[in-house]
Structure 1
C-alpha cells in the first residue's frame, strides 16, 4: 500500500471515530509531510494559513451573522405568521408552514442546522398539539431544512464558489430555482400524507385581500433582503463578499425598527457567529493542506484520466457521481467532503462538458441529502435530539421523503433548466 492510500485510509478511520473533521484532515495530511522525502514541512503551515485568506470566504461570517441577527430581531416570528396565513386552509397546514418557513428563512439564515434547530423548538411542539405525530413533525422539519443551503445566501454555495473558482452570484441565482422546486415537491408530499392521515387545517375561512395585505406587511421587508442581495450583485453594486456586509446592515436596521434588537442580543449574535465561523475556517484550513497534497501527487488528473477512459457518456458520469456522493454523504459531513472532493470532481465534470454552475448545484443538492441520511446525518440527529424522536421512528417516517429527494435529484441532474433557467435569464 502506497503512502497516498495510507493517508486516505487514515482519514476515513479518523472520521469514523468521530475525531473533529479538521483534526482528521490535518492528521492525515501530516503523514504525507513526515514521510515524503524532499517536501518542506513549512508548506504545511503555509497552505493551512493561505487557504483561509480567500476574499470569497469573507462572506461566510457576514451571512452567519445575518442569520443569527434575524433570529434575535423578531424576523422569524413575522415570517412564520406570514407562512401560516398563506397555507392555513391547506390540509396539514402546519406541515406546509414548516416547509414554507424554511424556504423563506433560507434567504436569511444560510445554515440548515440553525434552521432545523429553530423550527424543532418552535414548530414541532405546536404540530404535536394539533395532532401531528412526533416522527412526522420531526422528519418534515429536518427535510425542509435542506432547502436552506440551496436558497441564497447558503454557506455551501459560498464555499463551493471559493473552492472551484465559480461565480458565487450565479450560484445564488441558480439556488433559487432548485430551492423552489424542492419546496413545491415537499409541500406535495405533505399534502398527500396530511389528507391520508386527516391532519388538520389551521383555519377554515378563506383569506381575504385585506387580511393578506395586513399579514404581508410585517414580513415584506425581511423577505426583500435576499432580493436585495441578488439584485445588488447582479447590478454590480457589490460583490458576493460585500453583499454579506450589506445584508447585515439591513438586518440591523430592521432589528432596530422592530425594537427587538438590543445590545445584549447583538453581542450574543456576534458570539454565535465567531463560534460557527471558526469551525468552518478550521475545516477550510485543514482541507487546503489536503488539497495541496492531492494536487502535488496528481490525483485529480489521474482520476480524471481514468474516468474519461472508463466512462464515455456524461449522463452515466453524473449518475455515478450521484451514487458516489450519496454514499459519501452518509458518512462524511458536507463541507468536509466538498473541500476534499470538489477539486477532484469539478475538473472531470468540465472535461465532460458539464456546465460548472449545473454541476455545482448537483453537488450541493447531494450534500443536502447527505445531511439527512443515516448513520451520520447531522439534520436527523439535531432534530431528533431536540424533539425526542427515536432514530428508528424517524427513518421509518422518512422513507417517502427519501424517495421524493431521489426523484428531485434526478430532475436537478438531467433537466438543466432547474439549475440554469434563472441564471440564463438574469445573466
Structure 2
C-alpha cells in the first residue's frame, strides 16, 4: 500500500507540474494523495512538516538578501555598476552584450536572485542593445544566459537552501561559488566575442578610456562592489554568520541609499513589499517540498536509491555523469528550489559514499539547476526574459543553442576538474 501511495503521489505531482499548476500546490497535492492512501498517519503531519521545513535559522538569510538586493536597485547601485561594466568592456567586440554578462556577474554579489537580475537587465539593457543593432533574439538570450551566473556568485539563495538541507557550511558554499561564477563569466564573454565578430556587433567605444574617467566611474561603483568582500570576509573571519551577513547587507544598502541620495522613504516601503512577496513564493515551495521530502524519507527512498545506485555504478565519474543527465532532465520540468529540497537528501549521501567532495557536489547540483532555468519547457529565466522583451520562445531556443553547448562544457569542467569548485575554498580555509 505504501509503495503504491508514494508512486501515485509522485504521479499526481508530475502531472500537475506538467499542467503548470504552481509548484507548491503540486507538491502539497502529491503529499495529500499519499496521506489519504496511507492508513494510521494523521493528516496534520503535512502542516507540521510544512512549518518545520521553513523553521530553519539559515533560511532567514533569504529574506535578508532579497531585501538587500531590492534596496540596492532603489539606491542607484545598478546604474553605477552598469557604468563601470561599460567602461571595462567598452572596447571589446560585442559592446553592450559584454556589459550584460559582466553586470550579471557583479550583480550576483548584490542581489542573489537570477530572476530579478534577468528582469532588470531585460528592461534596462535589451532596448539599448537593439538600438545598437543587436537582434532581439541575441539580446534576450545573452540576458537570460548571463543571469545563470547570479545564483553561483555569493550570496546566492540556492547556496543558502542547499547548505541548510545538506548541512554543509554556507560560508564555504559562498566562497566555492566564485570559481564556477568566474568560469561561466569568462567563457560566456569569449562566446559573445566570437558571435559578435561573425555578425559585426561593434564595441560601444573606439577610443581608449582615460585614467581620470576610469577612476571617476570606479569611485562611483566602488562602494557597492565592496559588498561581496564584506560578506565573505566577515563570514571567514567569524565576525558574523551567513544569516547575519544578510542583515549586514541590508544595513549597507540603506547606507548607500543615504550616500547616493536616491532612496526615498516610499522606496523602502516598496522594497519591503517586494521582499515579502519574493520570500513568500520561495518559502511556500520550501515548506511544501519539505512535506514531500518527509514522505520519501519515511518510505526509505533515499536509502533504497543509494543501495541501487552503488550496486549498479562502481565509478564515481560515471555516477556524476548519470547525475548530470538526471538533473538536467529534472530541471527542465521542476523549479530548482523544489527539486533541490526533494533530491539533495537522495543524492548527497550517495555522492559521499563515492568519496566526492561535498562542496564540489553542491556546485554541480546548483549549476545543473541553473541550467534548468534556461531550458524548455519550464525554463523560468527564458519565460521571464521573453515576457519582457517580447521575443518569441521558438526564436529564443534557436538562438540559445551555442549557449547551451557552452553551459554543457562548463558543467563537464566542474564535474571532472574539482579545482573549479573547491580550489578557492581550499585556499581560503
CA distance in 2, matches of 1:158, 1:399: 30
CA distance in 1, matches of 2:46, 2:131: 55
1:194 correspondence with 2:196: yes
Per-residue deviation at 1:21?
0.8
What corresponds to 1:116 in structure 2? Answer: 118
Moved more, 111-120 or 37-46: 37-46
Per-residue deviation at 1:40?
2.5
What corresponds to 1:293 in structure 2? Answer: 295
Per-residue deviation at 1:34?
1.9
Deviations 1:89-129 (A, max 9, x none): 11111010000000000000111000000000000000000
What corresponds to 1:82 in structure 2? Answer: 84
Per-residue deviation at 1:41?
2.4
What corresponds to 1:10 in structure 2? Answer: 12
CA distance in 1, matches of 2:29, 2:333: 18
CA distance in 1, matches of 2:421, 2:42: 43
1:143 correspondence with 2:145: yes
CA distance in 2, matches of 1:70, 1:331: 32
1:344 correspondence with 2:352: no
Per-residue deviation at 1:39?
1.5
**Aligned mate of 2:383, from 381, 388, 391:** 381
CA distance in 2, matches of 1:337, 1:201: 40
CA distance in 2, matches of 1:358, 1:291: 23
Secondary structure in structure 1 of the residue aligned to 2:374? coil
What corresponds to 2:97 in structure 1? Answer: 95
What corresponds to 1:416 in structure 2? Answer: 418
Per-residue deviation at 1:42?
2.9
Per-residue deviation at 1:208?
2.7
**Aligned mate of 1:366, from 359, 365, 368:** 368
Q: How does 1:15-414 map to 2 (within 5 A)?
A: 15-414=17-416
After superposition, the CA RMSD in angstroms is 0.8
CA distance in 2, matches of 1:53, 1:329: 26
Question: Is 2:126–2:389's contact at 8 Å kept on the other side of the alignment?
Answer: yes
CA distance in 2, matches of 1:397, 1:30: 41
Question: Is 2:28–2:288's contact at 8 Å kept on the other side of the alignment?
Answer: yes
Question: Is 2:8–2:34's contact at 8 Å kept on the other side of the alignment?
Answer: no
TM-score, reference length from structure 2: 0.98
Moved more, 36-45 or 86-95: 36-45
Per-residue deviation at 1:304?
0.3
CA distance in 2, matches of 1:201, 1:369: 28
CA distance in 2, matches of 1:50, 1:6: 24
CA distance in 1, matches of 2:368, 2:380: 14
CA distance in 2, matches of 1:328, 1:32: 21
Per-residue deviation at 1:200?
1.3
Per-residue deviation at 1:37?
1.8
Deviations 1:13-72 (A, max 9, x none): 111111111111111111222221222223222111111110000000000001101111
Secondary structure in structure 2 of the residue aligned to 1:31? helix
Per-residue deviation at 1:340?
1.1
Unaligned runs of 5+ in 1: none
CA distance in 2, matches of 1:295, 1:329: 22
CA distance in 2, matches of 1:139, 1:219: 26
Secondary structure in structure 1 of the residue aligned to 2:109? helix
Secondary structure in structure 2 of the residue aligned to 1:51? helix
Secondary structure in structure 2 of the residue aligned to 1:422? helix
Secondary structure in structure 1 of the residue aligned to 2:383? helix
CA distance in 1, matches of 2:5, 2:293: 15
CA distance in 1, matches of 2:144, 2:396: 10
Per-residue deviation at 1:207?
1.8
Unaligned runs of 5+ in 2: none
